[in-house]
Amino acid sequence: MREKWVYLNGEFVPKSEAVVSVFDHGFLYGDGIFEGIRCYSGNVFCLKEHIVRLYESAKSIMLDIPLTPEEMEAVVVETLEKNGLPDAYIRLVVSRGVGDLGLDPRNCKQASVIVIAEKLSLFPQRYYDEGLEIVTVPTRRNVPDALNPKIKSLNYLNNVLVRLEAARAGVHEALTLNQDGYVCEGSGDNIFIVKNGKICTPPTYVGALEGITRNVVMELCETFQIPCAEVPFTRHDVYVADEVFLTGTAAEMIPVVNVDGRIIGSGKPGPITAKLTEAFRQLTVQRGTKVPGMFSTSV
Ligand code: PMP
């Protein structure tokens, strides 16, 4: 089997040797940021948008990335090329770097940069065909004044708790609410609801990541002239929606057919979700940054 390579601080190392120090503040404190990116048929989808978000997260937490955005883009493309992966999920991590046991990030001399490319399907295929069952969980989304969910930070404990609570409820994904009871997002994806031909997604100030897939779906709504608004909504609005779906780079677009035991619409993925999902799939192979030596195999 072909050797798998991980980009680690300026060089490619074999996967089995890709290790970071126990003194890295990413490990000690979750002090860092990350991105999840997908490559479809040799096209890196929305690479620039992911890199922009990475540098915005870095700015917000005052982390100096030792590469320019252009260099970072090149590293992502090179990692895919080196691993010969036309279809992959890329995990880009920038941690505060190696320091000491103290919390002070000023003792970390240089950020650590890691790029991993692997194959990934987040949910079994049948959920993409038949729809997911999800629940809302007791753990609330981080409040923006404490750790803003717009920062894609390495501190994912809030999301991890949500995923654990989903698993305890016997489902694969869950929704978080904010302190006021408004719906925020899933543990790793954004939510959309459809009612009477109109689409809504929570505004990010409610407590959600500004998902890149979310933005693409909003763009597709514009193309199809489907009204789509960023408005706060509650669990009730989700229960009585005609259709519900989740979006994310890892999750892609996935229909939801049951929320907290309430059947959504007909209990099957709805027509608007299907139309947008089809358009999204087409876009993933048409749009993107080409990885040299890899060619589109499908449309
Ligand atoms: N919300 C959270 C908490 C996430 O981790 C993700 C995945 N990055 C998303 C939403 C979806 O964002 P994107 O479409 O940019 O992957």
Report whether 228 contacts 218 (CB < 8 A): yes
Say which of 82, 119, 152, 268 is annotated catalytic. 152
**What pLDDT tens digit does each residue of the chain (299 aa) get?**
678 999 999 999 999 999 999 999 999 999 999 999 999 999 999 999 999 999 999 999 999 999 999 999 999 999 999 999 999 999 999 999 999 999 999 999 999 999 999 998 889 999 999 999 999 999 999 999 999 999 999 999 999 999 999 999 999 999 999 999 999 999 999 999 999 999 999 999 999 999 999 999 999 999 999 999 999 999 999 999 999 999 999 999 999 999 999 999 999 999 999 999 999 999 998 888 889 877 554 43
Please give the Cα distance from 62 to 76 (Å, whole number): 23
pTM attached to this predicted model: 0.96
- Ligand 1 binding site (Cβ under 6 Å of any ligand atom): 36, 159, 185, 188-190, 209, 211-214, 247-249
How far is the centre of ligand 1, averaged over its atoms, from the C-alpha of 249 (Å)?
7
Token pair 């999920």 is found at 89
Residue 260 contacts by C-beta under 8 Å, 6 or more apart in sequence?
135, 136, 235, 239
Measured from the Cβ of residue 170, the count of other Cβ atoms closer than 10 Å reads 8
Please give the Cα distance from 75 to 19 (Å, whole number): 18
Report whether 56 contacts 299 (CB < 8 A): no
Please give the Cα distance from 90 to 4 (Å, whole number): 13
ipTM value? 0.99
How far is the centre of ligand 1, averaged over its atoms, from the C-alpha of 270 (Å)?
22
What are 290's two structure tokens? Answer: 């080409």
Please give the Cα distance from 145 to 159 (Å, whole number): 17
Q: In a 3-state reduction of DSSP, which class is residue 257?
A: strand
How long, in residues, is the chain?
299
What are 87's two structure tokens? Answer: 């279809």
Nearest Cα to Cα of residue 122 among 273, 278, 252? 252
Please give the Cα distance from 82 to 258 (Å, whole number): 42
Nearest Cα to Cα of residue 140 among 176, 175, 168, 87? 176
Spell out the alpha helix ranges (H) of the chain.
25-29, 47-60, 69-83, 125-130, 157-168, 212-223, 235-239, 271-286
Q: Which of 183, 209, 213, 217 to mutate to test the pocket of ligand 1 (most atoms within 8 A of CB)?
A: 209
- ∠ CA 199-202-208 to the nearest 5 degrees? 140
Nearest Cα to Cα of residue 33 among 52, 56, 50, 57? 57
Report whether 123 contacts 132 (CB < 8 A): yes
Task: For residue 152, indicate whether it is catalytic.
Answer: yes
For the CA of 50, the nearest atom of ligand 1: 15
DSSP of 194-243, one letter per residue? EETTEEEE--GGGT----HHHHHHHHHHHHTT--EEE----HHHHHT-SE
Closest C-alpha residue for ligand 1 atom 10: 189
Please give the Cα distance from 9 to 28 (Å, whole number): 18
State the pLDDT at residue 289: 87
For the CA of 159, the nearest atom of ligand 1: 3
Residue 159 contacts by C-beta under 8 Å, 6 or more apart in sequence?
187, 188
What are 50's two structure tokens? Answer: 């992911």
How far is the centre of ligand 1, averaged over its atoms, from the C-alpha of 186 (Å)?
8
State the pLDDT at residue 298: 44
Please give the Cα distance from 51 to 76 (Å, whole number): 10
Report whether 220 contacts 280 (CB < 8 A): yes
